[in-house]
Amino acid sequence: MTTTTEPVTAATTAPYGWADLPALMARMTGDEKHAPAASSTLDVLWVLYDRVLRVTPDLAEDRDRFYLSKGHGPMAYYAVLAARGFLEPEELGTFGAFRSRLGHHPDRMLVPGVEISSGSLGHGLPLAVGTALGLRARGLHEPYVWVLMGDGELDEGSNFEAIAYASRAGLDRLRVVVIDNHSATQGWPGGLESRFAVEGWATARVDGRDHGALAAAMNTPAPGRPALVVADVDEPVDHH
């Protein structure tokens, strides 16, 4: 789904890898309510930043954009940003503290690498649709716009409008990953991906803990249309 070139990720020589993420996350305490929501995203976030996204801390214009719509419980996101060189690992210990940059919802004005302030459900995909339109209007045809959502967000009507519009507008640089931890209050015959497929999206469902399967699905081309990857995580948590 992304470019065929190698991702130009931040701090490719950083000494932190997948095995270091649990220790990086352990530096953050005080939001145990959303700890399961964070852990459900860790594998997807790592694969995105390690094998897919073309992003660097200097925010080059031709970079890919990543929107964390599932912005509550951002501990996994902060840990991955630290591992990839956007944050100093020592800063993780300030998570949620007074005047810390690392709040319980990520703030685009404070945290390096964060493209949108998020946490309220149903905002990330509509914002990404607007960004994809804007990039195309400016003649920037290489960047991809990636959105990470939770299955519970699909209860929000704003997402249904964005799903329908994206395919009709031919937004073929728009990519969505949905963490399906089976917490949504609504069900869809054939799985949540059917809601995208009926609107013309390319869709795939993979094991959300299998890094190879995630990378393969995320990097599968989908000419002429937006694409969805459902990351199935058998971890029922809160309705977010």
Q: Which residues pair with 177 in a beta bridge?
A: 148, 229
Instruction: Annotate 196-206 with b (16+ C-beta within 10 A) or e (fewer).
Output: bbebebbbbbb
Binned at pLDDT 50, 70 and 90, residue 2 comes out as very low
Q: Are 113 and 86 in contact (CB under 8 A)?
A: yes
pTM reported for the whole predicted model: 0.89
Most confident of 55-59, 121-125, 137-141, 187-191: 137-141
Average pLDDT over residues 58-78: 92
Give the CA distances from residue 152 to residues 45, 114, 121, 161, 206, in Å, rounded to whole numbers and listed in that order.
18, 22, 8, 16, 18
Give the pLDDT confidence score for residue 34 in this predicted structure: 65
- What is the tens place of the pLDDT at every residue in 171-192? 999 999 999 988 777 777 888 9
**pLDDT at residue 84 is higher than 90:** yes
What is the average pLDDT score of the chain?
Answer: 89
Q: Half-sphere exposure (CA, 13 Å, Cβ side) for 112?
A: 19
**CA separation for the pair 146, 65 (Å, rounded):** 6
Give the pLDDT confidence score for residue 5 in this predicted structure: 41
Binned at pLDDT 50, 70 and 90, residue 121 comes out as confident
Encoded tokens for 1? 């789904």
Give the CA distances from residue 165 to residues 92, 133, 162, 226, in Å, rounded to whole numbers and listed in that order.
38, 11, 5, 10
Rounded to 5 degrees, φ, ψ at 179 are -80, 110
Q: Are 125 and 132 in contact (CB under 8 A)?
A: no
Average pLDDT over residues 183-211: 91
**pLDDT at residue 240 is higher than 90:** no
**132: which residues sit within 8 A by CB, 6+ positions away?**
145, 166, 171, 173, 174
Give the pLDDT confidence score for residue 33 in this predicted structure: 59
**CA separation for the pair 85, 28 (Å, rounded):** 17
Give the pLDDT confidence score for residue 13 in this predicted structure: 46
Helix (H, G, I), strand (E, B) or coil at 167: helix
**CA separation for the pair 62, 220 (Å, rounded):** 20
**177: which residues sit within 8 A by CB, 6+ positions away?**
44, 48, 146, 147, 148, 149, 218, 228, 229, 230, 231
Average pLDDT over residues 28-33: 75
What are the start-end ranges of the H helices in the chain?
Answer: 21-26, 35-39, 42-47, 75-83, 124-137, 157-168, 193-197, 211-218
**CA separation for the pair 108, 127 (Å, rounded):** 13
**pLDDT at residue 63 is higher than 50:** yes
Average pLDDT over residues 195-206: 97
Give the pLDDT confidence score for residue 119 in this predicted structure: 79
Share of the chain above pLDDT 90, in %: 73
Q: Of 67, 62, 102, 98, which is closest to residue 86 (Cα–Cα)? A: 102
Encoded tokens for 113? 């690498």
- β-strand pairing of 145-150 with 227-232: unpaired
